[in-house]
Copies of this chain bind each other. A is one copy, B any other.
Amino acid sequence: MAAADQNPVKFGVIGCARIARKLIRAISLSPTTTLAAIGSRSLSKAQKFLSENRIWLGEAMTSRMTVKVYGSYEGVVEDEMVEAVYLPVPTRMHVKWAVAAAERGKHVLVEKPVGVDVGDVEVMVEACRVNGVQFMDGTMWLHHPRTRRLRGLLDDQLLFGDLRMIHSSSTFRDADEEFFKDNIRVKADLDALGALGDAGWYCIGAILWANNYKLPSTVTALPKVTRNDEGVILDCGASFHWEGDDVNVATFHCSFLCHESMDLTMSGSKGTITLRDFIIPYQEHSASFDFSSDVKFVDLHIGWTSTPKRVEVSTELPQEALMVQEFGRLVHNIKVLGSSPDEKWPGISTKTQLLLDAVKKSIDAGFKTITV
């Protein structure tokens, strides 16, 4: 890690979306990365964005080097100093810029949803593979130490048993009615997947993660979907089922029309795990979950033998910085140690998008069950 810290990966950010502010701060916080360039469709927009976000750049970083500013995305992709790009542009533009970056030997960190469909993801992943660069999507919660802690419990046969049921929700409601007209997430030509791509991505990813990325056998959309005038999904849900004798079922609900929620409940044969903030922890430096195991009802069923235990997991760096740090570590291993890119991350993106496609297919087929 020390070596990676001494020669941090130089990041170019393509696009000035709101989420880019968070990532610029993360790139600055992570010891394995540094911000080298920002590109927008206009130079003045890029300059304004950088000046507004200088506050997130650590002093060490700003003194260490100058951040280059480009009035085009090409500028970043063609800058030979830039070693990795971060793509917070609308989903429909991911393939073009991810492939352009990969072909120039740059590593690719792309926002979710990764593609409009799994075909998009495969093109990007393949371009990275052929060019020997790292691919990763911007799902931050997977990098929080809480997630590792949860993994340990899920795998614990004595405390948790077999995974039986997952329910997840990812919902928010922008008070600003303009959101429903103007936000890229509700524009068919920009982010065609709406709430399914933006919020449902996390639920689908969590369900897959809990199942160690074993794909379900069937995907069935819940039989109602709410869309805006452009046909973009504002609210939907689905259930997943895995084959086999044992129960293994998952449901999720994603929405731009419900009060803020980021729920993840995982029930096993012997234990239950609940998170209310799995995507963005309530606070940066400490996150918790509730866990109960082998709970019974007391005699007469007038109470429970115990209440869920709250488990706290602290972290020095916020999860987005840990994500960028891990990305930087992998890039360092490739460029300095000659390692191959880690195939885990493109695999996760591909499977997540595959299930997202299946949900959309089920919706489009009148809520029929889709065999994966």
Within 8 A of B (CB), among A228-246: 234-235, 237, 239, 241, 246
Please name all residues of chain B whose beta carbon is closer than 8 Å to the beta carbon of A173 when the two chains form the complex: 269-270
Tell me the minimal C-beta distance from A298 to chain B in angstroms.
9
Q: A260 to B296, Cβ gap below 8 A?
A: yes
Q: A255 to B164, Cβ gap below 8 A?
A: yes
Beyond A220-B222, A307-B282, is A258–B269 a contact (Cβ under 8 Å)? Answer: yes
Please name all residues of chain B whose beta carbon is closer than 8 Å to the beta carbon of A308 when the two chains form the complex: 276
* Distance, CA A297 to CA B260, complexed state (A): 9
Q: Is A365 an interface residue (CB 8 A)?
A: no
Q: Is A272 an interface residue (CB 8 A)?
A: yes
Q: Which of B294, B302, B307 contacts A318 (CB 8 A)?
A: B302
Q: Which of B22, B246, B251, B277 contacts A222 (CB 8 A)?
A: B251
Q: B257 to A164, Cβ gap below 8 A?
A: yes
Tell me the minimal C-beta distance from A221 to chain B in angstroms.
10
Beyond A164-B255, A237-B239, is A302–B282 a contact (Cβ under 8 Å)? Answer: no
Q: B258 to A164, Cβ gap below 8 A?
A: yes
Please name all residues of chain B whose beta carbon is closer than 8 Å to the beta carbon of A272 when the two chains form the complex: 259-261
Max count, chain B CB within 10 A of own CB: residue among A246, A253, A257: A253
Tell me the minimal C-beta distance from A54 to chain B in angstroms.
14
Tell me the minimal C-beta distance from A80 to chain B in angstroms.
31
Q: Is A134 an interface residue (CB 8 A)?
A: no
Please name all residues of chain B whose beta carbon is closer than 8 Å to the beta carbon of A222 when the two chains form the complex: 220, 239, 241, 249, 251
Name the interface size band of chain A: 35 or more
* Distance, CA A249 to CA B164, complexed state (A): 22
Q: Is A295 an interface residue (CB 8 A)?
A: yes
Within 8 A of B (CB), among A252-280: 253, 255, 257-261, 263, 265, 267-272, 274, 276-277, 280
Interface string of A148-175 (1 = CB under 8 A from B): 0000000000000100110101011100
Please name all residues of chain B whose beta carbon is closer than 8 Å to the beta carbon of A284 when the two chains form the complex: 302-303
Within 8 A of B (CB), among A21-53: 21-22, 25
Tell me the minimal C-beta distance from A17 to chain B in angstroms.
12
* Distance, CA A205 to CA B308, complexed state (A): 24
Closest chain B residue to A293, Cβ basis: B259
Beyond A241-B223, A255-B164, is A267–B261 a contact (Cβ under 8 Å)? Answer: yes
- Those 7 A-B pairs whose CB atoms lie nearest each other, nearest first: A224-B241, A164-B258, A258-B267, A235-B247, A22-B300, A222-B239, A260-B295
Known A164-B255, A223-B239, A261-B265; 14 more pairs at CB < 8 Å: A22-B300, A164-B259, A165-B253, A167-B169, A169-B265, A220-B222, A223-B241, A237-B239, A239-B251, A257-B269, A259-B267, A259-B295, A260-B296, A280-B302
